[in-house]
Structure 1
């Protein structure tokens, strides 16, 4: 895939996931999370999300992993490509 298109799509996914974490996930254990980077595979089938957690790292990461299906669902409805 074209490197420019891949970077553009990574940027779009980063913004969407940051908004989802900030506004759509209603879990008390998810707080003080900053989405730092996103790596998208060349075939667009996998994405790695890198986050920074300020407090309660263990509980926050467990809550984020448990919220992954909800994030995937929102992403699939939002992304148009």
Structure 2
């Protein structure tokens, strides 16, 4: 599985993206083919797994690492 984390650079969401990347690798390790960080703008924090959106900060109202981990594992 390939996971992409797109995050807003000007908003200071890089640390959240790095923390999530680390949590994904800790949780799923070898089950992942890669976790890519993609700098963005406009307040974005979106997580996709194999091209399918599993988390969008704007729709969910924030960033919840545990919920994201659960959705990636589905």
TM-score, L = length of structure 1:
0.37
Higher helix share: 1
TM-score, L = length of structure 2:
0.39
- Name which structure has the greater RCO, CA cutoff 8 Å, separation 6+: 2
Larger radius of gyration: 1
